[in-house]
Amino acid sequence: MTAAHSLLKRIAHSKEFCHIVSYVIIAFAIVVGLETFPLPTVWLRAINVLEHFFLTFFILEIILRILAEDHPIDFFNLFKTKVILIQGRKKTELEITEHGFWNYFDFILIVLSVIGLFINMFVFPGFFQVGRLFRIFRIARLLEISDHLREVEKRIVSIIPTIFSFAALLLILTYIYAIIGMFMFEKKDFGSSDFSSIHDSFITLFQVMTLDSWAEMMKDIIATINSPSPIVIEIYFISFVILTAIVAFNVFIAVMTSHVQDKMTKAKEADSKENVNINSTMQEMVIEIKNLKSEVAELRTKMSG
């Protein structure tokens, strides 16, 4: 490791550097908020200059963090392997690392912002506003400011696979009901609900899933068409509400709660094991010190004798 690389690593991992980045992100968030107010032309020009300063700072920050890695490619390591025991058998799982997640998050936003700047300068002058929108998501890095926010963030990241599984379940259920609805209601648009296409059926059922005026939608369809019978239409809507809005969401909350509790329990067990190891080490050190004292006392007795 060269002296220059060692210096970059110390800077990138120093608390001062992290604080400066946080302060710049807060300043950027304030400037973005100021842009929403009607301001004089002079202020808008000053804000435009600040926008370029923020973009330059974030570019230099990401370059510094990449160069501070032992190998630049390590910056893009998103997964790490984890060995777990299931019924006495070892199984290797891939786990998303918090470090890799934020690295990709920052890098993608910077790349999109730079692309937006170049398009604004050489292709389409109004595209800078689009590139600016990408950098707004940098405000999410404020989650890294406090330990409590980091804990919340870790809990959220840990349940992402479960969220995707739940989303896949809802997607399958909605797709099945969308197809059934299109055949039942003859691909018609009823105003409050639309089953004329698969896309419109999805939007309608999503509204039903949120319990937004779903009873009025059901009554409008019953009053408009003669077939199928009102009972069949009622069963269609009520069963969809029960399966998605009631059963699925309650199961999701239960799974999330148990998952977070398991994570917290494992974390506490790990902390307790670490404390036990520290206490046992301290006890061994105390015993060794006592033995040394007794040996020294014996040597003094022999020497005095």
178 and 238 housed in the same domain = yes
pLDDT digits (tens, 9 = 90+) for 179-195: 999 999 988 888 889 99
Please report whether residue 18 resides in a domain.
yes
Comparison of pLDDT for 151 and 74, the residue scoring more? 74
Give the pLDDT confidence score for residue 8 in this predicted structure: 83
Of 110, 145, 180, the residue at which a domain comes to its end is: 145
Please report whether residue 110 resides in a domain.
yes
117 and 175 housed in the same domain = no
Comparison of pLDDT for 70 and 295, the residue scoring more? 70
86 sits in the region (left: phi over 0; alpha: psi -120 to 50; else beta) called: beta
102 pLDDT more than 90: no
Please report whether residue 294 resides in a domain.
no
CATH number at residue 244: 1.10.287.70
**Tokens at 176, concatenated:** 């099945």
Quote the CA–CA distance of 261 and 41 in Å, as a whole number: 54
Strands (E), 100-140: none
102 and 180 housed in the same domain = no
Residue 240, domain extent: 162-278
117 and 45 housed in the same domain = yes
21 and 124 housed in the same domain = yes
Of 117, 145, 173, the residue at which a domain comes to its end is: 145
pLDDT digits (tens, 9 = 90+) for 189-240: 888 899 999 999 999 999 999 888 899 999 999 988 888 889 999 999 999 9
How many structural domains are present in the chain?
2
**Helical (H) or strand (E) element with 107:** helix 98-122
pLDDT digits (tens, 9 = 90+) for 256-281: 777 667 766 766 666 566 555 566 66
Of 145, 180, 210, the residue at which a domain comes to its end is: 145
Please report whether residue 226 resides in a domain.
yes
38 and 141 housed in the same domain = yes
Please report whether residue 293 resides in a domain.
no
166 and 251 housed in the same domain = yes
Please report whether residue 285 resides in a domain.
no
Please report whether residue 237 resides in a domain.
yes
219 and 264 housed in the same domain = yes
8 and 57 housed in the same domain = yes
* Across 36-40, 106-110, 125-129, 294-298, least confident range: 125-129
Please report whether residue 213 resides in a domain.
yes
11 and 124 housed in the same domain = yes
- CA quadruple 50, 55, 58, 64: dihedral, nearest 10: -110
122 and 178 housed in the same domain = no
Give the pLDDT confidence score for residue 55 in this predicted structure: 85
181 and 236 housed in the same domain = yes
